[in-house]
Amino acid sequence: MASVIFHTARQIKASGGMKLFKSHRPDYKDGEQSRDFIYVKDVVNVCYWLWQNRPTSGLYNLGTGKARTFLDLVTNTFKAMDLTPNISFIDTPEDIRDTYQYFTEANMSKLRAVGYDTKFYSLEAGIEDYMQHYLIKEEIW
């Protein structure tokens, strides 16, 4: 499975633009569907911390605790590529339209309660790091 940034950068490189789903709900504008995007380096840091600190066994949510829009993600990917954003909106496919999630955000209280207090990369910083150190160099593993 490849990251959303990887797929975004590939679409931008191939076409010069990015297509996002239109909103089919009146309470969300096009591109404002949100996810709790987390950088893989943060996931690794949490896994390492859990291994080192051995808190009570259980299920822990993992995200940043702050949902961001797909429009934020795509705009910042263009910026990290030093390109002017070229974003268009397409209909959400009908077969997923009724079940498409418009908002997801991890509740990080359980992980924080057991002592994990490291700050997560911001969406902007994670995209910048990933693009500049891996994707622009085309170091795909």
In a 13 Å sphere around the CA of 30, the CA atoms on its Cβ side amount to 10
Is 140 inside a domain boundary?
no
SS3 at position 139? coil
Residue with tokens 């299920």: 59
Is 119 inside a domain boundary?
yes
Is 44 inside a domain boundary?
yes
Is 130 inside a domain boundary?
yes
- The per-residue DSSP string of 68-108 comes to EEHHHHHHHHHHHTT----EEEEPPPHHHHTT--SB-----
Cβ 110 vs Cβ 55: under 8 Å:
no
Number of separate domains in the chain:
1
pLDDT tens digit string along 100-138? 999 999 999 999 999 999 999 999 999 999 999 888 876
pLDDT tens digit string along 54-104? 998 889 999 999 999 999 999 999 999 999 999 999 999 999 999 999 999
pLDDT tens digit string along 8-57? 999 999 999 999 999 999 999 999 999 999 999 999 999 999 999 999 88
CA 74 to CA 113: how far, in whole Å? Answer: 33
